[in-house]
Amino acid sequence: MSIEVNNIHRIKPIASYIVVKVLEETKTTSRGILLPNSKESPQKGEIISVGPGKKSESGQLKEIDLKQGQVVVFGEYAGTLIAQDESSKYLLIKEEDVYGTYE
């Protein structure tokens, strides 16, 4: 399945899912040092939409502490590809995949 990039806003994530637009960054630092790839190298992306949060077994809601527009750092292998064109790529990731925000 794939969704048109310009239809991405029609996806409303549920539970602790988050739609992010991937902000590509070359894997070498500005002074040309290629990151040793033995360690996982995280991704950066902008939040397009967030789910309502996850319900515990007893039905209690744990909201997501992230908002639309924030830039987040998340796992290299995280998420599901839902839309892509020449210039942009969108993923569905989970809140648990996020390490931090980039301000």
* Chain residues in the site for a second copy (CB under 8 A): 1-5, 10-14, 17, 19, 23-31, 33, 35-36, 39-44, 51-52, 55-63, 65-66, 73, 75-76, 79-86, 91-92, 98-103
Shortest distance in whole angstroms from residue 73 CB to a second copy: 6
SS3 90: strand
Question: How far does Cα 66 stand from its chain's mean position?
Answer: 11
Q: CA–CA separation, 82 vs 2, rounded Å?
A: 6
The secondary structure of 16-62 as a DSSP string is TEEEEEE----SB-TT-PBPPTTS---EEEEEEEE---EEPTTS-EE
The amino acid that residue 58 corresponds to is S
Task: For the CB of residue 18, give the shortest distance to a second copy in the complex, in Å.
Answer: 10
Our CB check for a second copy shows the closer of 5 and 21 to be 5
In angstroms, what is the minimal distance from the CB of 1 to a second copy?
Answer: 5
Minimum Å gap between C-beta 32 and a second copy is 10
